[in-house]
A and B are shown apart, each in its own frame.
Chain A
Amino acid sequence: MTFEAKIGNAEDLKTIISSISTLVEEANFVATSEGITFRGMDPSHVALIDISWPNTAFERYECDSENNFGVRIEEFSKIVKRAEKKDGIEISISEQNQMLITIGKNRKYKIRLIESSATETPLPKITFDSKITLSSSKLQKMLGDVQVISDYLTIRTDGSKAYFSGKGDSGEVEVGVEETKVHSTPRTKPTDKAPTEEKPELPPPDKADGGQIKVRTGETDVEDDSIEIYSKEDSTGAYSLEYLNPVVKAVGNSGGKITCEFSSAKPLRVEFKVANMGRIHFYLAPRVES
């Protein structure tokens, strides 16, 4: 059993860990030759995080068989936070059920792994009628605008416009946005099929043994203010800011575009791109008036 991964940029790992820490205290990762994945729900099952981190996103990645490893997120996070931006981080699993973490060249940590629970979390079976793509700073700003009034965010799409609104004891708020981009290329459409049918979005490994050396080439998305709105059917959904805010804050600072997809009274899926090639899907169950 071999598992060794070297992350060129400590920030990527920090982002992934802090997104997970908004939902759970203990996390079970799965490493295969194709990369590392994590999927888990918060204890109340209101939100789900699905992370896919392909081998191509690592500076070096070796994994010859499937490895499950569980960590206490707080312990793991404390160690990773010791790394500075430019530091590389190498992680591997020892025979003694420990994770070895090397920061830079010579700072070595060992932490005890926890028993990983074997329950497999499915993805919700939903399709999305509306899709909004915008910069993380724009989204954070709008969430902040709504939060001063309300604990819940209502998102409504109307053609190429979208409204972020909320109601609270003190009053109401509505923030409107319009599509800004002029399209020369076809826009990306919302995912039509249920995500459970999706194969993990991992690129095929170059070699069957997965033991290749990869060098990251891409840079993170350049922050732009463009907004893309697509609505197959105008939709309205209400979501708890108590769940949405922390994850957007945790991942948002890494910059990049955020895509929100939803349908009326159905879960919201927020996609964050991390480390150019990896992605975080955050699913949030709606609040429904009945």
Chain B
Amino acid sequence: MNLLQNTSEDIRKSILAKWHENLSKYGNLFSSDSVSGSTPPSVFIGSYNYPKVFVGPMVPPIHGDTHILDSPEKWTGKTLEEIVNFRLNLIRGVQKVSIHDVEGRYVENLQEITMSSKSIDSDLEFHKIPAPAVSLDGQSAPFGPVGEIKNVKFSGSSSTAPIEKIFYDRDLKSQDAVMSLYNSGIDISKIQRCFSMGMLGQKRRLVPTKWSITATDDIISKHLTDEILNYPVIDSCRVFSYAHLGNLFSVVLFPHRWVYEMIEAWYSHGILGFGSDSEDARGIGHRPAIAGAYFAAKLGVVEYLSRKKIQSGVVILREILPEYAIPVGVWQVREGIRHAMSISPSFAENFDHALDLATKPMNVGKLEWLSRGKIIRMLKQKTISDYF
């Protein structure tokens, strides 16, 4: 087990060492009190000091199409190191703003770049040289140095039509606005930034990025769950598996009215830790212990059910290996599950067999998983429709 722990630390150290090497090589790009580059577009709101939060754009010292730097939907297949390097290029400019203050000039500028369909040339001037730091909160993607903004200039934004329409519609509830954007094919990461920047709904306010990620996944997955409750229940078990970035995912669909459990296992100082949350068709009704991963994974699987117009019970297992040395954000759970659901499934004879298939690629055994979750207990509850 010690070996596993070392792996994790080694990877983290090696990635960060390379990053520091980078910093010293291109030090001139970062060690100035200003930065000129194209924001992907990207904005970030911290939760520190809430409700007076630190808000600002993220800008890399590169000009051109930087879209990829803040588009997790396009990162599947990249290595942990590639992703971290993308992100650490982003310098985060901040100003302290009250969450209620969504009409100031600074915030309006940020809303405008959030709406943009392409990268925007940006010039940030800082009060002092941004400290070379790495920020990891587990929910959001990491980013690099942070500096307090003295002056900011953006040029050449071009707005995305569906977002512009929603932005000026002050009668639309924020949940309906999120769904409208989702249904017009806007990426989740972009919807989440609009949500965060207080651009949706009737009562508008700024929402810290990590909360807005969870809220967006929750709103969309809840809406899709309501939809699939009307679809027929599948008649056999399906198992989907996928691994990326040191995360092993297995999804089991089984014949049942909508119930959902996600169980996570991780290695902490050589010891296995577990967490789980679950719901039935009445919803979860409390904050999940496994936080944003719960909604992100749920979104990936209900998208599949909604696309296929079917309903099922769902168990998602996520084993987090020590190789996942740097948390890159819950987007990787969403995209991991989406990817798993795009591969053709294995069919199982029954629930037990399905769990055998699901746990086969994992180090944690079936019985261990089941004892950490509630699904077996939940399935003891029959439904009235079992007796029709």
Chain A residues with CB under 8 Å of chain B are 41-48, 122, 124-126, 240, 266-267, 283-290
Contact = CB atoms under 8 A, between A and B. Distances in A.
Interface of B: 229, 257-259, 280-283, 379-388
Q: Across chains A and B, which 8 residue pairs bring their CB atoms closest together, nearest first?
A: A124-B387, A43-B281, A44-B280, A45-B383, A44-B281, A285-B382, A287-B380, A48-B384
Nearest to A122: B388
- The majority secondary structure among interface residues of chain A is loop
Nearest to B382: A285
A47 B387 CA distance: 12
Contacts, number: 57
17 contacts: A42-B282, A43-B229, A44-B259, A44-B280, A45-B281, A45-B385, A47-B384, A48-B384, A122-B388, A125-B388, A126-B387, A266-B387, A284-B384, A285-B383, A285-B386, A285-B387, A287-B381
B40 to A, nearest CB: 40
Contacts of A283: 384
A116 B380 CA distance: 32
B72 to A, nearest CB: 32
B383 A44 contact: yes
B117 to A, nearest CB: 36
Nearest to A119: B230
Contacts of B282: 42-44
A287 B382 contact: yes
A50 to B, nearest CB: 11
A125 B387 contact: yes
Nearest to A41: B384
A47 B280 CA distance: 13
Contacts of B380: 287-290
A163 B280 CA distance: 30
Nearest to B225: A43
Contacts of A44: 257-259, 280-282, 383
B381 A240 contact: yes
Contacts of B388: 122, 124-125
A267 B281 contact: no
A126 to B, nearest CB: 6
Residue among A44, A47, A48, A125 facing the most chain B CB atoms (10 A cut-off): A44
A93 B229 CA distance: 29
Contacts of A287: 380-382
A261 B283 CA distance: 30
